[in-house]
Chain A
Amino acid sequence: DGGITQSPKYLFRKEGQNVTLSCEQNLNHDAMYWYRQDPGQGLRLIYYSQIVNDFQKGDIAEGYSVSREKKESFPLTVTSAQKNPTAFYLCASSIEGGSFVGWNEQFFGPGTRLTVL
């Protein structure tokens, strides 16, 4: 079945540690996205990538890093510089990027809940 997988489902981190969240898609989509979701705030865009080996900062990129070495993979690293990383993280993809990044339907993964201990 085609779709987006995120792992792990739950992740616990000690303060000062970097952690990497996995996102894989087998939909052959060009564009991929990372969102952060906090209660009562909706989704906020962290990073997005329209094509392999290229990515752009979203609205809240500070303390996060990404890579896009393969079309199907877009891992997110939450660094120790992120002061309040406890949140639900959602990865999404859409058919094409470029000038149509926004209007194409975004397909979402099941999410990773990160908790800082």
Chain B
Amino acid sequence: AQSVTQPDIHITVSEGASLELRCNYSYGATPYLFWYVQSPGQGLQLLLKYFSGDTLVQGIKGFEAEFKRSQSSFNLRKPSVHWSDAAEYFCAVGDRSNDYKLSFGAGTTVTVRA
């Protein structure tokens, strides 16, 4: 069965510091990978996606993610966090074996301290 794991439930980071959110998946083939962000009480916004090609992908709001097939990971990074980055972040995976439906991780809540 497919699964998506976000090992960190909650991360606190100082404004201006770097941020890395972890995502691991278990799939047989090359999956399609996404990172979404959700502000409290709101819908989800796509930060970036990976389908193929360059394993380092750039997204909106200064985020990037790196696909590592050997580690089955797709970690999200930002070099310098702003207070507005405080939100919940979801990793999602889709592949052909599941009719391309998306499976979501449980999410990581990011708190930014001044």
Q: Which residues of A contact B (CB under 8 A)?
A: 4, 35, 40-45, 48, 58, 90, 92, 99-103, 105-111, 113
Contacts and interface: CB of A to CB of B under 8 A. Distances in A.
B43 A90 contact: yes
Contact of B42 (A40, A43, A111): A111
Given A102-B99, A105-B49, A42 B105 contact: yes
> B interface, how many residues as a size bin?
20 to 34
Given A103-B32, A103-B51, A103-B94, A108 B45 contact: yes
A92 B102 CA distance: 12
A100 B95 CA distance: 10
B35 to A, nearest CB: 12
B74 interface: no
A43 B90 contact: yes
Given A90-B44, A105-B49, A111-B41, A99 B106 contact: no
Nearest to B105: A42
Contacts of A110: 41-43
Contacts of A45: 101-102
B58 to A, nearest CB: 15
B105 A102 contact: no
Contacts of B44: 43, 90, 92, 106, 108
- List 9 tightest A-B contacts by C-beta distance, closest first: A102-B100, A102-B94, A108-B43, A42-B104, A103-B32, A43-B104, A108-B44, A101-B100, A42-B106
B12 interface: no
B80 interface: no
A30 to B, nearest CB: 13
B101 A102 contact: yes
Nearest to B107: A42
Contacts of A101: 99-101
B56 interface: no
Interface string B94-114: 111011111011110000000
A111 B49 CA distance: 22
A113 B42 CA distance: 10
